[in-house]
C-alpha cells in the first residue's frame, strides 16, 4: 500500500484524544471541537538496495561534475567531510547512511590509489563527537582504519593554524574555513538532509567554518529575515550561505557533494504508535501506549532520559544524489518536500505542539530550557513555507517539562547564558551585547576544543533561532514546565492545556482557532 | 596520620626492624658482586618442565584454557591429520598477529602433543621482569628467545629441548603484526630445523587479529581458524636460508587459502602467483581497508520488537 | 531583673553541640548552659565605669556559635564564666561614670572590646596604644575577669539582661538623634564590616567577591561601597531576600552561592583547573567561616590576591595547597578599633555610624523578642536566612514601643 499523504484533521466529538509529546514521555489530550491537527505524510519506501544506489550516484553525478573515479588519482589530497551527531534524529540504526556512503567513496579511492585521505566531522561550533558516536556513524571498519592514525578528525574552529581565510563575499561576509578542506584537491561532503534547512552550500560554508564566518548569518537580524529558514528561497540564512558557498567554489575549492534523504519511519516497533494516527491504533498500540506512559511516569528522569536516548530509529535512505552542490541540492530538497510537505489552508490563532526529548543539540544529553525554546520556537515554528502556521500576534503553546537542568559537560556556556544573560534580557537583539565575551572566553574555547562542549557562543545561536517567532507571536505558553525556568525564558507557565488555552484567549481573543502540530515524525506546512 | 592510630602503631616496629629480621646493609668499602638478575635469556626455565609444574599446567590447559579458547575464538581446525604425518618432536612455525595465538594454538593441539610443547617467547617482552618470567614459564611453558640479535644461549637451549623430545612453537615473524598483514620472516625456525634435523609443521592462524589486535583495549569474540600444513623436511645439504623461504611460502599459501579457498590457493601456489600476504604498499588506511570488512561483525541493529537497548557500542 | 546567663558546664556544652548539629543552629537551647534567671546589676569596677541599661541587644553569629558549642577552644582563656551574653548593645546611661563620659539618660552604643584602657592597665599594650583595641594583648589580665568583650566577661554583665551592664567611658559612643534604636543596634556589626572592608585593602577598580549574605555579608557590602571604589562586586547569597538586599546595598552581580565561582569566572575570563579557577577575583571575602566556604573562596581568588576571613571560623579542615601555590594572602578581620582612612585617623564606630545612617541599615533588624522568649529568639536567629530574616535582636525597652507601635509582649517583625 502506498504511503498516504499528510493532511489536516478537523477535530470533532468522535475524534479520539490526540497524542502530545512531553519531553521524555507523552500523554493524550482532548483538543476542543473545531481544532485542527496537522498529520505528516506516512513514511515513503526506503531504497531496497542502498549500496547500489550510492554507487550509481557516485558514477552518475548531477550538474557540472565528473564521476567520482575520474576526480581521483594517486598522490592527490582527498578530504571527506560528514555531518556530525546532530543528524539524524533520533540516531539511525546501524549501518548509518554515512557509513554506507563513505565506505563506497573509500572503495573508489582505494581502487584509484589515493593515499592521503582525511575524514573530518563538520561540527562548525557544535561539540566534538565521542568515539562511540563516531563508530556509530562511520562503522567500525572506517573507524579502525582511520582513527588510530589520527586521520579521523573533528573540525576545530578555534585553531588558527587549522583555518584559512579565503576572503570576503561581495556583501562583506568573511569566509574562513578548515585549512585541510580548502587545500585539498577534492572535498567530498557526505550529508544527511533531515529537514530542508540542511544541505546545499550550507554544508561546507557553515559546517567547516569559523566563528568569524558564522557571525554573518548566525545572528538575530538574519533569523528575523528568514521566513522561514526551512525554505531556502525565502531565507536570509540561506542567501548568505549560498553567497559564501559560491565564493568558496570560486576560490578553487572543489566540492563533490553527496546528499541523502531519509523517510519518516522514526520510531522502533515498541513505540510504533507514536507515528500512527490515533484512530488507527490497534489493540497492541494502545497496550504499548498505556504500558509505556505509566512506566515512564514512575521512572526517575535520568533513567527515562537514558531509555529514550538509546532509541535507534529505523528510518532509512530514500534517495541519494551526488555531484555539483546546487544541482544535487535541488533534487534533495524536492525529495524532502515529497516526504514532509503538507498543504495547509490559512493560518491559526493558537498553535500547540508537544516537544519531544531530543533536538539536534542534546543528543545523548540533557534538554535544557534554552534548547526547549529553540526546538519549539526555532525548529517547529519554522517548519513552514509561505506563511507561518500561526498568525501574527498569535500564541504558541508548547508542552515540555522544561527542567532547570543543564549538562555541565555538553552545555557549560548555556548555564552562564541562562543565569546571567537571560536574567537581564530575553530580547534576541539585546542579548547580542554579550555575544562577543562568550565567544572569546578562553575557558569555553578550551572546553570546545578539548572536551565535548558546545562553543561558548552557541546558546546565543539557540536564542537567535527563536528571533523570528518571538517577533511574530503575541505570547508563548509552556504547559507542564518548571515555572521558574519558564519565566526566566520570558514565557508564561501553565499547569494544564486547558489553563494554557484560557491564558491564550487573553492574548488572541475569545474563541480562537487552534491547530496542533502532530510531530515528530517531521512534517512541514505549506501555508496558503 | 598520627602515631596513635592503628596504622601508626604498626609502622613503628616495621621501621625499627633490623638485621636479622630485615635484610642486611653492606659495609662501605666491601665489594659487592653484581647481582645475578636472572631475567631475559638468562632465566632458567628448567623448573617449569618438572612433573609438578607440568601437571599443574596440564590441568589448567585442559580445563580452563581450552574451554575459554573455544568460547571466545571458536576455532575451526583444518589439517589436523598433518600432525600425525610428522614424527615428534616437531617445530611448529606459525604466523603471529595477536596474544591469543599461543593459547589458541596450544588448545587445538591433540594429546599428547599439547603437553609436550614449549613455546619460544620474546625474551625482552615476556622475560624482562622476574615475575613475568615465572608467570610465562609456568603458564605456557615458554622459553626465552632473543628476537633482535642472534643469541647462542637461546638457540642452544631450544636445540637441547628438541633433542629431549619437546615440540617447539615458534613465530618466525618475530612479533605481532601491527596491521593484520604478514611481516618478513626471520631465520630462527629454519636454523633450528637444520641444526636438529626435526621437521617443521607450518601453521596459519586466521581471525585472531580481529579479536585482539596489537594495542587493543578489549577482547572481542569471534571465529578463528587454525590450519596445519604438510610437514617440511630440510633437503640434505639445504641451508637454513633456502629452507626458511620454503617455510614462508607454505604459510603464505595457507594465508591465501584462508582468504579464498584451498583449491584457489593450491593453483596459485603452483603457478607461483600466491599473493605475498604482506599487504599493499600504500598508506596505512589503504592497508587496513584492503583487509576487508569483518565477516563476524553484526552491523544491522534490529533488536526486535520488545528489546530496548540501553547504552550504545 | 530577668536576664540570660551562660554558665560553665561541660556536659551541657557538649549536649548543646550535639543538639545543634542534629536540630540546627540555635535549637539546642534546652540542653545548653544558657539559662533565664534573676540577675543583679553588676558592680561598677572603677571610677571610669558607667552603668548602662540596654534598649536593644543583638544576637550575633559568634553568640550562636558559643551557645551551640561550636566555638573554638581558643577562646577558653579569654572568656570568664558565668557571663551574660550580648555585645551588640544600644542603651541608655543609667549611672554616669564618676570621671567623665556621657551624662545620665544619653543614648549610647557600646564598643564591647575590653582593652587595656578599660582594664585600667597602664601603660597600654602596643596594640591598644596604636588604637587597635581588637588586638589587645591583655584581654585576660588586669583588674577585670578575663573576657575579650563585654558579653563574654563575668564582671561586666551583658546586653541580654534587663539588669544591664557596666562599661568603661572609652567604650561609650553617643548616638545621634537621627539614628533610630534599630539603626544604633546595627552599629557594632557594621563596625566589624567597616574594619574588614578596610583590612581588605581594595585598590580602586578591583573585583571583589563576597560569599555569604547574612548580617556580616550585607553590612560588608554597604561598608565596601561607602569606603572603597571597587570595580565589580559579586555576592553569593543563598536566600531570595538576601539577594534582594545584596543588590540594594551595592552588589553588581548577585547569584546563589554555588554559582558564585561561575560568575567570577565569567567576569575574570579565567580557566578552570584543580577544582577552582586559574584566575579569579582580586579580593574574596568569606563571611561564612566554614571549611566549605573557605575552600570555595580559595578557588575563586586570583594568584597573589587577598582572601579576607570575616566570618568567625572554628577548627577547619581545608586544603591549603591552592593558598601556597597561588601565593594568596589570607587575612583575618576581627572587631574594630581605629582606622587610617584618607580623612585621617578615625574610630571605627564613628565610620560605622555614618554607614548605618547612609544606608538605613536599621532596616536589617527583622525581628525583636523579649528576653523571656529567648528560645524562640535564638532559634529564629539560627535559622534567620531560611526564615527570610537578617538580624534578630532582644528588645529590652520598658514600654516596648517599636516603629509600628505594636502592643507589648508581641513579637514585632519588621522586614524591609
Contact status of C271 with chain A (Cβ, < 8 Å): yes
Residues of chain C with pLDDT > 90: what percent?
57
CA angle A83, A88, A92 (to 5 degrees): 115
C111-147 pLDDT tens trace: 999 988 888 888 889 988 888 888 888 888 888 888 8
Question: Can you give the pLDDT at residue B67?
Answer: 95
Question: Can you give the pLDDT at residue A120?
Answer: 97
Which one of B215, B283, B293 has the shortest CB-CB distance to A116?
Answer: B283
Q: C92: which 3 cell numbers?
A: 541608655
Task: Categorise residue A139: left if φ over 0, alpha if ψ from -120 to 50, beta otherwise.
Answer: left
| A491 burial level (CB within 10 Å; 0-12, 13-18, 19+) | buried
For residues B62-82, average pLDDT: 93
**Chain C residues inside the 8 Å CB shell of A442:** 269-271
What chains are in contact with C, requiring at least 3 Cβ pairs below 8 Å? A
Q: Do A441 and C266 touch (CB under 8 A)?
A: yes
User: Considering only A455-459, C88-92, C400-404, which range has the smallest mean pLDDT?
Assistant: C400-404
Which one of B283, B289, B308 has the shortest CB-CB distance to A270?
Answer: B308
Question: Can you give the pLDDT at residue C414?
Answer: 45
Question: Can you give the pLDDT at residue C146?
Answer: 85
In chain A, which among 287-316 make CB contacts under 8 A with chain B?
A: 306-307, 310, 312, 314
Contact status of A443 with chain C (Cβ, < 8 Å): yes
Dist CA B100 CA B121 (whole Å):
13
C-alpha R_g of chain A: 22
Question: Can you give the pLDDT at residue A416?
Answer: 94
Dist CA A66 CA A234 (whole Å):
31
Contact status of C153 with chain A (Cβ, < 8 Å): no
Contact status of A487 with chain C (Cβ, < 8 Å): no
**Chain A residues inside the 8 Å CB shell of B284:** 145, 149
Q: Which of the given ranges, A393-402, B23-32, C116-125, C164-173, has the highest pLDDT on average?
A: A393-402
Of A43 and C70, which is predicted with more confidence? A43
Q: Do B288 and A145 touch (CB under 8 A)?
A: yes
End-to-end C-alpha distance for chain A, whole angstroms: 29
**Chain A residues inside the 8 Å CB shell of C266:** 416, 420, 437, 441
For residues A452-472, average pLDDT: 96
Which one of A107, A141, A269 has the shortest CB-CB distance to B305?
Answer: A269
**Chain A residues inside the 8 Å CB shell of B282:** 113, 115
For residues A498-527, average pLDDT: 94
DSSP string, C244-262: HHHHHTT-SEEE-GGGHHH
Dist CA A396 CA A476 (whole Å):
5
B310 pLDDT above the threshold of 50: no
Q: Do A132 and B289 touch (CB under 8 A)?
A: no
Q: Do A420 and C253 touch (CB under 8 A)?
A: yes
Contact status of A46 with chain B (Cβ, < 8 Å): no
Pairing of strands C172-174, C165-168: unpaired
Residues of chain A with pLDDT > 70: what percent?
100
Dist CA A70 CA A65 (whole Å):
10
Q: Do A443 and C253 touch (CB under 8 A)?
A: no
Question: Can you give the pLDDT at residue B298?
Answer: 58
Which one of C255, C262, C269 has the shortest CB-CB distance to A442?
Answer: C269
User: Considering only A477-491, A504-518, B129-143, C20-34, which range has the smallest mean pLDDT?
Assistant: C20-34
What chains are in contact with B, requiring at least 3 Cβ pairs below 8 Å? A
Contact status of C270 with chain A (Cβ, < 8 Å): yes
Q: What is the count of residue pairs from A and C with beta carbons less than 8 Å apart?
A: 25
Q: Do C265 and A443 touch (CB under 8 A)?
A: yes
For residues A234-244, average pLDDT: 95
Question: Can you give the pLDDT at residue B296?
Answer: 67
Give me the CATH code for the A52-214+252-262 domain, please.
3.40.50.11440
For A111, the closest chain B residue by CA position comes to: B286
**Chain A residues inside the 8 Å CB shell of B303:** 268
B98-112 pLDDT tens trace: 999 999 999 999 988
Q: Do C266 and A446 touch (CB under 8 A)?
A: no
B191-248 pLDDT tens trace: 999 999 999 999 999 999 989 988 888 888 889 999 999 999 988 888 899 999 999 9
Three-state secondary structure string covering chain B: CCCCCHHHHHHHHHHHCCCCCCCCCCCCCCCCCCCCCCCHHHCCCHHHHCHHHHHHHHHHHHHHHHHHHHHHHCEEEECCHHHHHCCCCCEEEECCCCCCHHHHHHHHCCCCHHHHEEEEEEHHHHCCCHHHHHHHHHHHCEEEECCCCCCHHHHHHHHHHHHHCCEEEECCCCCCCCCCCCCCCCCHHHHHHHHHCCCEEEEEEECHHHHCCCCCCCCCCCCEEEEECCCECCCCCCCHHHHHHHHHHHHHHHHHHHHCCHHHHHHHHHHCCCCCCCCCCCCHHHHHHHCCCCCCCCCCCCCCCCCCCCCCC
Q: Do B285 and A270 touch (CB under 8 A)?
A: no
Domains of chain B listed by start with CATH number: 40-213+221-275 (3.40.1130.10)
Dist CA C75 CA C69 (whole Å):
12
Contact status of A404 with chain C (Cβ, < 8 Å): no
In chain A, which among 497-516 make CB contacts under 8 A with chain B?
A: none
Interface of B with A (CB under 8 A): 215, 282-286, 288-290, 293-294, 297, 299-306, 308-313
For residues C96-123, average pLDDT: 89
Which one of A110, A140, A307 has the shortest CB-CB distance to B297?
Answer: A140
**Chain A residues inside the 8 Å CB shell of C269:** 437, 441-443
Question: Can you give the pLDDT at residue B312?
Answer: 37
Q: Do B289 and A145 touch (CB under 8 A)?
A: yes
B266-288 pLDDT tens trace: 888 888 888 888 888 888 899 98
| A63 burial level (CB within 10 Å; 0-12, 13-18, 19+) | middle
| pLDDT band for position C407 (cuts 50, 70, 90) | very low
| pLDDT band for position A455 (cuts 50, 70, 90) | very high
Contact status of C259 with chain A (Cβ, < 8 Å): yes
Q: Do A389 and A348 meet the contact criterion of CB atoms below 8 Å apart?
A: yes
Dist CA A390 CA A115 (whole Å):
54
Mean pLDDT of chain C: 88
A169 pLDDT above the threshold of 60: yes
Contact status of C265 with chain A (Cβ, < 8 Å): yes
Q: Do A93 and B302 touch (CB under 8 A)?
A: yes
Residues of chain B with pLDDT > 90: what percent?
49
Mean pLDDT of chain A: 95
**Chain C residues inside the 8 Å CB shell of A158:** none
C412 pLDDT above the threshold of 90: no
A45-74 pLDDT tens trace: 999 999 999 999 999 999 999 999 999 999
Q: Is the peptide bond before C205 cis (omega within 30 degrees of 0)?
A: no
A153-166 pLDDT tens trace: 999 999 999 999 99
| pLDDT band for position C404 (cuts 50, 70, 90) | low
Q: Do C262 and A419 touch (CB under 8 A)?
A: yes
Q: How far is C256 from chain A (nearest CA, A)?
A: 10
Domains of chain C listed by start with CATH number: 2-179+369-413 (3.90.180.10), 188-338 (3.40.50.720)
Question: Can you give the pLDDT at residue B311?
Answer: 40
| pLDDT band for position C77 (cuts 50, 70, 90) | confident
Contact status of A28 with chain B (Cβ, < 8 Å): no
Q: Do B310 and A149 touch (CB under 8 A)?
A: no
The overall pTM is greater than 0.90: no
| pLDDT band for position B300 (cuts 50, 70, 90) | low
Q: Is there an interface between C and B (3+ Cβ pairs < 8 A)? A: no
Q: Do B73 and B104 meet the contact criterion of CB atoms below 8 Å apart?
A: yes
C147-181 pLDDT tens trace: 888 988 888 989 999 999 999 999 999 999 999 99
Which residues are CB-contacts of B69 (< 8 A; sequence separation ≥ 6)? B75, B100, B103, B104, B107, B108
Q: How far is A458 from chain B (nearest CA, A)?
A: 27
Question: Can you give the pLDDT at residue B12?
Answer: 72
Model ipTM over 0.90: no
B124-162 pLDDT tens trace: 899 988 899 999 999 999 999 888 877 888 889 999 999
Question: Can you give the pLDDT at residue C409?
Answer: 40
Q: Where are the domains of chain A?
A: 52-214+252-262
Question: Can you give the pLDDT at residue C12?
Answer: 78
Contact status of A113 with chain B (Cβ, < 8 Å): yes
Q: Do B305 and A110 touch (CB under 8 A)?
A: no
Q: C172: which 3 cell numbers?
A: 561609650
Amino acid at each position: 500500500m502506498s504511503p498516504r499523504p499528510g493532511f489536516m484533521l478537523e477535530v470533532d466529538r468522535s475524534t479520539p484524544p490526540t497524542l502530545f509529546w512531553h519531553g521524555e514521555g507523552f500523554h493524550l489530550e482532548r483538543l476542543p471541537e473545531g481544532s485542527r491537527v496537522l498529520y505528516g505524510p506516512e513514511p515513503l519506501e526506503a531504497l531496497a538496495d542502498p549500496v547500489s544506489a550510492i554507487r550509481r550516484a557516485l558514477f552518475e553525478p548531477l550538474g557540472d561534475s565528473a564521476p567520482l573515479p575520474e576526480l581521483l588519482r594517486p598522490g592527490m589530497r582527498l578530504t571527506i567531510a560528514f555531518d556530525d551527531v546532530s543528524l539524524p534524529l533520533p540516531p539511525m540504526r546501524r549501518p548509518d547512511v554515512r557509513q554506507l556512503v563513505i565506505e563506497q567513496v573509500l572503495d573508489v579511492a582505494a581502487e584509484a590509489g589515493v593515499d592521503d585521505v582525511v575524514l573530518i566531522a563538520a561540527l562548525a561550533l557544535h561539540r566534538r563527537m565521542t568515539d562511540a558516536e563516531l563508530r556509530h556513524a562511520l562503522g567500525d571498519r572506517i573507524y579502525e582504519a582511520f582513527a588510530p592514525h589520527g586521520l579521523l578528525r573533528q573540525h576545530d574552529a578555534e585553531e588558527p593554524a587549522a583555518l584559512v581565510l579565503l576572503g570576503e563575499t561581495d556583501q562583506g561576509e568573511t569566509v574562513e574555513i578548515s585549512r585541510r578542506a580548502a587545500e585539498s584537491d577534492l572535498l567530498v561532503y557526505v550529508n544527511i538532509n533531515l529537514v530542508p534547512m540542511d544541505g546545499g552550500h550550507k554544508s561546507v560554508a557553515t559546517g567547516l567554518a569559523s566563528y568569524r564566518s558564522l557571525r554573518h548569518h548566525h545572528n538575530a537580524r538574519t533569523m528575523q529575515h528568514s521566513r522561514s529558514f526551512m525554505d531556502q528561497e525565502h531565507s536570509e540564512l540561506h542567501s548568505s550561505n549560498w553567497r559564501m558557498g559560491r565564493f568558496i567554489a570560486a576560490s578553487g575549492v572543489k566540492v563533490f557533494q553527496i546528499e541523502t534523504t531519509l523517510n519518516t519511519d522514526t520510531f522502533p516497533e515498541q513505540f510504533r504508535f507514536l507515528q500512527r494516527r490515533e484512530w488507527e491504533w490497534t489493540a497492541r498500540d494502545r497496550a504499548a501506549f498505556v504500558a509505556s506512559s505509566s512506566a515512564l511516569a514512575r521512572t526517575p528522569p535520568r533513567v527515562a532520559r537514558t531509555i529514550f536516548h538509546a532509541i535507534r530509529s529505523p528510518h532509512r535512505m530514500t534517495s541519494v544524489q551526488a555531484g555539483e552542490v546546487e544541482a544535487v541540492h535541488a533534487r534533495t530538497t524536492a525529495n524532502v518536500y515529497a516526504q514532509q510537505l503538507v498543504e495547509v489552508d490559512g493560518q491559526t490563532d493558537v498553535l500547540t505542539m508537544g516537544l519531544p526529548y531530543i533536538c539536534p543539540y542534546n543528543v545523548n544529553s540533557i534538554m535544557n530550557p534554552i534548547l526547549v525554546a529553540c526546538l519549539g520556537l526555532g525548529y517547529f515554528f519554522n517548519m513552514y513555507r509561505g506563511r507561518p502556521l500561526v498568525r501574527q500576534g498569535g500564541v504558541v503553546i508548547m508542552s515540555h517539562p522544561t527542567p532547570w537542568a543543564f549538562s555541565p559537560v555538553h552545555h557549560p556556556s548555556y548555564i552562564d547564558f541562562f543565569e546571567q544573560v537571560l536574567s537581564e534580557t530575553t530580547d534576541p537583539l539585546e542579548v547580542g551585547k554579550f555575544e562577543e565575551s562568550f565567544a572569546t572566553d578562553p575557558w569555553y574555547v578550551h572546553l570546545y576544543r578539548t572536551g565535548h562542549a558546545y562553543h561558548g557562543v552557541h546558546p546565543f545561536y539557540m536564542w537567535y533561532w527563536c528571533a523570528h517567532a518571538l517577533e511574530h507571536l503575541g505570547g508563548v505558553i509552556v504547559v507542564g514546565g518548571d515555572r521558574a525556568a519558564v519565566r526566566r525564558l520570558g514565557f508564561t507557565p501553565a499547569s494544564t492545556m486547558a489553563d494554557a488555552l484560557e491564558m491564550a484567549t487573553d492574548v488572541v481573543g475569545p474563541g480562537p482557532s487552534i491547530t496542533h502540530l502532530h510531530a515528530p515524525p517531521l512534517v512541514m506546512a505549506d501555508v496558503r | 596520620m598520627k602515631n596513635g592510630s592503628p596504622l601508626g602503631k604498626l609502622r613503628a616496629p616495621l621501621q625499627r626492624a633490623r638485621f636479622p629480621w630485615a635484610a642486611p646493609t653492606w659495609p662501605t668499602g666491601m665489594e659487592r658482586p653484581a647481582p645475578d638478575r636472572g631475567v631475559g635469556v638468562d632465566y632458567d626455565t628448567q623448573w617449569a618442565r618438572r612433573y609438578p609444574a607440568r601437571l599443574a599446567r596440564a590441568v589448567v590447559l585442559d580445563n580452563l584454557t581450552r574451554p575459554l579458547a573455544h568460547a571466545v575464538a571458536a576455532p575451526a581446525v583444518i589439517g589436523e591429520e598433518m600432525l600425525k604425518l610428522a614424527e615428534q618432536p616437531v617445530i611448529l612455525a606459525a604466523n603471529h598477529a595477536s596474544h591469543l595465538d599461543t593459547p589458541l594454538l596450544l588448545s587445538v593441539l591433540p594429546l599428547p602433543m599439547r603437553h609436550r610443547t614449549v613455546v619460544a617467547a620474546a625474551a625482552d617482552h615476556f622475560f624482562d621482569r622476574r615475575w613475568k618470567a615465572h608467570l610465562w614459564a609456568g603458564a605456557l611453558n615458554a622459553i626465552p628467545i632473543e628476537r633482535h640479535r642472534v643469541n647462542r644461549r637461546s638457540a642452544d637451549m631450544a636445540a637441547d629441548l628438541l633433542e629431549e623430545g619437546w615440540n617447539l612453537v615458534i613465530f618466525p615473524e618475530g612479533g605481532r603484526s601491527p596491521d593484520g598483514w604478514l611481516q618478513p620472516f626471520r631465520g630462527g625456525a629454519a636454523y633450528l630445523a637444520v641444526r636438529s634435523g626435526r621437521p617443521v609443521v607450518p601453521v596459519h592462524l586466521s581471525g585472531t587479529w580481529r579479536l585482539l589486535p596489537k594495542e587493543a583495549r578489549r577482547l572481542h569474540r569471534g571465529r578463528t581458524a587454525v590450519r596445519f600444513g604438510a610437514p617440511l623436511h630440510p633437503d640434505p645439504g639445504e641451508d637454513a636460508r633456502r629452507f626458511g623461504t620454503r617455510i614462508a611460502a607454505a604459510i603464505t599459501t595457507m594465508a591465501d587459502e584462508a582468504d579464498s579457498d584451498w583449491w584457489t590457493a593450491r593453483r596459485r601456489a603452483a603457478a607461483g602467483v600466491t599473493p605475498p600476504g604482506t599487504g599493499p604498499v600504500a598508506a596505512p588506511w589503504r592497508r587496513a581497508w584492503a583487509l576487508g570488512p569483518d565477516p563476524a561483525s553484526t552491523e544491522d541493529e534490529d533488536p526486535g520488537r520488545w528489546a530496548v537497548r540501553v547504552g550504545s557500542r | 531583673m530577668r536576664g540570660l546567663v551562660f554558665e560553665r558546664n561541660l556536659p551541657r556544652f557538649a549536649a548543646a553541640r550535639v543538639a545543634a548539629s542534629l536540630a540546627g543552629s540555635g535549637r539546642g537551647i534546652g540542653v545548653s548552659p544558657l539559662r533565664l534567671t534573676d540577675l543583679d546589676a553588676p558592680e561598677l569596677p572603677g571610677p571610669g565605669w558607667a552603668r548602662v541599661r540596654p534598649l536593644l541587644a543583638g544576637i550575633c553569629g559568634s553568640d550562636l556559635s558559643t551557645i551551640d558549642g561550636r566555638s573554638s577552644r581558643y577562646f577558653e582563656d579569654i572568656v570568664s564564666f558565668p557571663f551574660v551574653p550580648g555585645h551588640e548593645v544600644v542603651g541608655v546611661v543609667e549611672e554616669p561614670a564618676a570621671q567623665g563620659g556621657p551624662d545620665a539618660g544619653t543614648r549610647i552604643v557600646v564598643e564591647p572590646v575590653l582593652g587595656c584602657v578599660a582594664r585600667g592597665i597602664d601603660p597600654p599594650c602596643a596594640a591598644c596604644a596604636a588604637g587597635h583595641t581588637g588586638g589587645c594583648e591583655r584581654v585576660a589580665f588586669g583588674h577585670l575577669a578575663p573576657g575579650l568583650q563585654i558579653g563574654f566577661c563575668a564582671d561586666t554583665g551583658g546586653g541580654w539582661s534587663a539588669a544591664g551592664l557596666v562599661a568603661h567611658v572609652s567604650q561609650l559612643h553617643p548616638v545621634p538623634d537621627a539614628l533610630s534604636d534599630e539603626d544604633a543596634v546595627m552599629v557594632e556589626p557594621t563596625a566589624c564590616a567597616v574594619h574588614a572592608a578596610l583590612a581588605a585593602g581594595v585598590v580602586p577598580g578591583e573585583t571583589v567577591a563576597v560569599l555569604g549574605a547574612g548580617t556580616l555579608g550585607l553590612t560588608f557590602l554597604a561598608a565596601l561601597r561607602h569606603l572603597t571604589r571597587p570595580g565589580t562586586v559579586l555576592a553569593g547569597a543563598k536566600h531570595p531576600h538576601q539577594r534582594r538586599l545584596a543588590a540594594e546595598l551595592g552588589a553588581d552581580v548577585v547569584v546563589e552561592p554555588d554559582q558564585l565561582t561561575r560568575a567570577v569566572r565569567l567576569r575574570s575570563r579565567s580557566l578552570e583547573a584543580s577544582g577552582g579557577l586559574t584566575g579569579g577575583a582580586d579580593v574574596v571575602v568569606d563571611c561564612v567561616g566554614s571549611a566549605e566556604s573557605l575552600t570555595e573562596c580559595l578557588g575563586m581568588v586570583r594568584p597573589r590576591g587577598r582572601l579576607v576571613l570575616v566570618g568567625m571560623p572554628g577548627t577547619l579542615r581545608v586544603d591549603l595547597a591552592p593558598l601556597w601555590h597561588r601565593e594568596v594572602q589570607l587575612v583575618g578581620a576581627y572587631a574594630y578599633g581605629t582606622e587610617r582612612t584618607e580623612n585621617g585617623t578615625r574610630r571605627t564606630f564613628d565610620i560605622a555610624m555614618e554607614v548605618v545612617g547612609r544606608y538605613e541599615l536599621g532596616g536589617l533588624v527583622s525581628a525583636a523578642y523579649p528576653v523571656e522568649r529567648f528560645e524562640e529568639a535564638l532559634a529564629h536567629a539560627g535559622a534567620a536566612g531560611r526564615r527570610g530574616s537578617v538580624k534578630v535582636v532582644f528588645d529590652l525597652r520598658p514600654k516596648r514601643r517599636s516603629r509600628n507601635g505594636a502592643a507589648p509582649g508581641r513579637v514585632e517583625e519588621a522586614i524591609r
